[in-house]
């Protein structure tokens, strides 16, 4: 991974105001990219995007990816060489509450982006569509899913991301390859890290409970997930986008997840959080009778390792520790942008 590659590159990032998008924006800004972002307004002024003052150092555009006309205007003005697509409705439980919005955003949002790329006056060279580990037809088996396994997510979020994969492949085959555009998808596991305030996610739930000194409510402590620190997949995304920019033969679909030993139960993750946080923090098992979610999910990441030499750098304990460090700095009213930059710099030196 050579971050100097990104200096001066015109990069278009959808979903830049989100949790992962904010971290990726900071990496690209520090690397010297000419960054344009398109995303919804963050829900509150405490969100990571605003806390890190990212807007001052990039071309940030607030808009809905479903609004094709506005989206295409912004895209054309940016004239990107590289596109990373992360805008999404990303919450499983929310997709049950509002499936139409989820499909409109995750399916037609992808179509709108690919139409921008297909019709662009200034050709795009490298495109990465970020989906999810939940695109696979989950059979609850004990080994990791490979990129060749059957797609078909169960819930509206997972299913809409499966659709996004299929749409990307269709545009790639029908239009983009012939136009010289190199396209890949990345299927990442569950990410954790400082600055995630989303509802119905386990680590933000842990943070909210710790902040008010109450036990953490855990809905399903026995579910197994591929937990990883947010910097792990982000640097993998950049590596894929860079390498396929340099050599189009790298186009494909890639799983990005932790080592098998770091695919842990939610209960174990919360134990680590409580131990790291201290102050007698505890949790309780309290199912709320919510909708179906997969119990066991793991990725086989052999392909991205063999193709690019990528390896996870952080284990799950280190991922939790970095999350707690960022959160305590936030609660102590420290400059979290500096904490963010320091964690990025420390990661690149590992």
Structural element, H or E, at residue 204: helix 202-212
Residue 173 has pLDDT above 70, yes or no: yes
Which sequence spans correspond to the domains of the chain? Answer: 3-348
Which CATH architecture does the domain made up of 3-348 adopt?
A: 3-Layer(aba) Sandwich (3.40)
Facing residues of 299 across strands? 145
Facing residues of 185 across strands? 129, 253
Within a 13 Å sphere around the CA of 131, how many CA atoms are in the beta-carbon half?
Answer: 31
Flag whether the pTM goes above 0.85.
yes
Q: What is the pLDDT of residues 317-337, one digit of tens each?
A: 999 999 999 999 999 999 999
pLDDT of 291: 72
Residues 6+ apart with CB under 8 A from 193: 19, 23, 229, 230, 231, 319, 322, 323, 326
**How far apart, in Å, are the Cα atoms of 157 and each of 41, 102, 161, 292, 340?**
21, 6, 6, 12, 29
pLDDT of 240: 98
Residue 292 has pLDDT above 70, yes or no: no
pLDDT of 183: 98
Q: What is the pLDDT of residues 217-274, one digit of tens each?
A: 998 899 998 999 999 999 999 999 999 999 999 999 999 999 999 999 999 999 999 9
Q: What is the pLDDT of residues 133-167, one digit of tens each?
A: 999 999 988 889 999 999 998 999 999 999 999 99
pLDDT of 71: 98
């Amino acid at each position: 991974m050579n971050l100097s590659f990104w200096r001066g590159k015109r990069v278009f990032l959808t979903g830049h105001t989100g949790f992962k998008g904010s971290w990726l924006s900071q990496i690209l800004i520090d690397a010297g990219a000419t960054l344009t972002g398109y995303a919804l307004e963050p829900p509150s002024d405490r969100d990571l995007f605003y806390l890190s003052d990212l807007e001052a150092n990039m071309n940030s555009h607030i808009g809905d990816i479903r609004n094709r006309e506005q989206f295409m205007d912004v895209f054309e003005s940016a004239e990107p060489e590289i596109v990373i697509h992360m805008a999404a409705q990303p919450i499983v439980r929310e997709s049950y509450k509002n499936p139409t919005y989820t499909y409109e955003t995750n399916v037609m949002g992808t179509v709108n982006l690919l139409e921008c790329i297909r019709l662009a006056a200034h050709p795009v060279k490298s495109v990465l569509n970020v989906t999810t580990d939940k695109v696979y037809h989950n059979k609850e088996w004990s080994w990791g899913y490979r990129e060749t396994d059957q797609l078909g997510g169960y819930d509206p979020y997972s299913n809409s991301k499966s659709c996004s994969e299929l749409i990307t492949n269709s545009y790639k085959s029908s239009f983009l390859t012939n136009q010289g555009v190199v396209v890949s998808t990345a299927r990442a596991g569950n990410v954790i890290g400082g600055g995630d305030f989303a509802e119905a996610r386990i680590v933000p739930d842990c943070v909210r409970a710790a902040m008010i000194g109450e036990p953490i409510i855990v809905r399903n402590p026995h579910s197994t997930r591929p937990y990883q620190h947010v910097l792990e997949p982000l640097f993998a995304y950049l590596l894929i986008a860079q390498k396929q920019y340099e050599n189009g033969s790298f186009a494909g679909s890639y799983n990005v997840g932790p080592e098998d030993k770091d695919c842990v139960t939610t209960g174990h993750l919360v134990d680590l959080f409580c131990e790291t946080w201290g102050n007698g923090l505890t949790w309780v098992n309290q199912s709320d009778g919510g909708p179906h979610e997969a119990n066991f999910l793991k990725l086989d990441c052999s392909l991205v390792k063999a193709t690019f030499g990528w390896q996870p750098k952080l284990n799950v304990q280190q991922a939790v520790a970095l999350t707690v460090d960022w959160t305590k700095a936030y609660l102590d009213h420290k400059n979290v942008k500096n904490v963010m930059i320091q964690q990025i710099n420390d990661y690149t030196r590992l």
